[in-house]
Amino acid sequence: MTEKSQTPDTPVARNEAKGWLHNPELPIAMSPLFQWPPSPSAALGWLARSWLQLSSVVIIFTFALIGAWLLPSAETMKTLSPGWVLQIWARHILFLTLVAGGLHFWFITMQGQGEAFKFDPRKQATKNRQFLFNNQVHENVFFSLVSGAGLLAGFEVFYHWIAANGWVPTFTLSFDQPGWLVWFAVALVVIPIWSSLHFYWVHRFLHWPPLYRVAHGLHHKNINVGPWSGVSMHPVEHVLYYSTLLIHLVIPSHPILVVFHACLQNLSPPFSHSGFEQLVVRDKQRMRAGDFFHQLHHRYFECNYGTVDMPWDRWFGSFDNGTAESRTRQQARMIALKRHRQGD
Ligand SMILES: [Zn+2]
Ligand SMILES: [Zn+2]
């Protein structure tokens, strides 16, 4: 079926006509960590681009080190009390405001790089009744800071409380125990991959129509995404999304790993939803920002449920690599999916 034969009121037909302002290099590259046959040099290059140059992961890890340094002592965290609980919530509010607010300020308020590397030509919605306060950004900020930072703080507080009481496996970093140093380094690399795996399955569940109507639809009101859209979710979605942290109840963890994991959940989406592929300052590309893979999900809904870090979408046929052929395949898949849901 061609795009013209779609009914005009479907999201695909409505948005397809608007096109993209910036078309990134296609097809979208997936992580080579899971490619077959394996390519160690490609895999190491991918990891080096994440960890050995300015990237969202490096920035988030820096925030995590500060967050872990600010943690109260284990003795304090043995007992739940408003002082340190509110401190962790305040830290998540501050970090998210610095990252999402900073990106928003540069890309949208200042128009710091104009439209260079901007995917979607549209502006963030104002005077639009489908958003709280009639304003897309204001709604996004509200759900990010109140529900997002709040519930993430709840998960983190729960972890630190049970860890301080010795109810979950933990370890300390010391040169006397090199095995734990190696595990720490491995865990740093594995956490984003685990987060991607968890996100794919939770996200598929969120696209189950009843749950989509109740919860996930709120995030999808953002068809044209911005930095504040990333963590703008319904509280039910927040709980599912942050449940990735429960892995630390079973794997031996260090506080830096847990704070890193928590920060990753809240600070990575402002980059991936920024709407700009590159951050450009003084005519120079400084770092990768937006994620065309997820931008396609916000425009077309039923594709690219995971991230580029794991090939779940490729394995299950929902990968849109951005090319015209891929879009046609996904449209056929979406029509079949709709028919299936309608019981045809
Ligand atoms: Zn999103
Ligand atoms: Zn979705």
Q: What is the pLDDT of residue 4?
A: 35
Q: What is the pLDDT of residue 341?
A: 76
Q: What is the pLDDT of residue 6?
A: 33
Residue 238 located in a structural domain: yes
Residue 341 located in a structural domain: no
Ligand 2 centroid distance, CA of 85 (Å): 31
Is residue 124 within 8 A of residue 137, CB to CB? The reply is: yes
Residue 157 located in a structural domain: yes
Q: What is the pLDDT of residue 94?
A: 98
Ligand 2 centroid distance, CA of 299 (Å): 10
Ligand 2 centroid distance, CA of 306 (Å): 9
Q: What is the pLDDT of residue 202?
A: 98
Which regions of the chain are under pLDDT 70? 1-18, 344
Residue 14 located in a structural domain: no
Ligand 2 centroid distance, CA of 269 (Å): 13
- Structural domain total, the chain: 1
Q: What is the pLDDT of residue 15?
A: 38
Residue 246 located in a structural domain: yes
Ligand 1 centroid distance, CA of 225 (Å): 8
Residue 325 located in a structural domain: no
Q: What is the pLDDT of residue 344?
A: 60
Ligand 2 centroid distance, CA of 80 (Å): 35
Ligand 1 centroid distance, CA of 307 (Å): 10
Q: What is the pLDDT of residues 269-323, one digit of tens each?
A: 999 999 999 999 999 999 999 999 999 999 999 999 999 999 999 999 999 999 9
Q: Which domain holds residue 233?
A: 54-298
Which ligand ends up closest to the CA of 208? 2
Residue 41 located in a structural domain: no
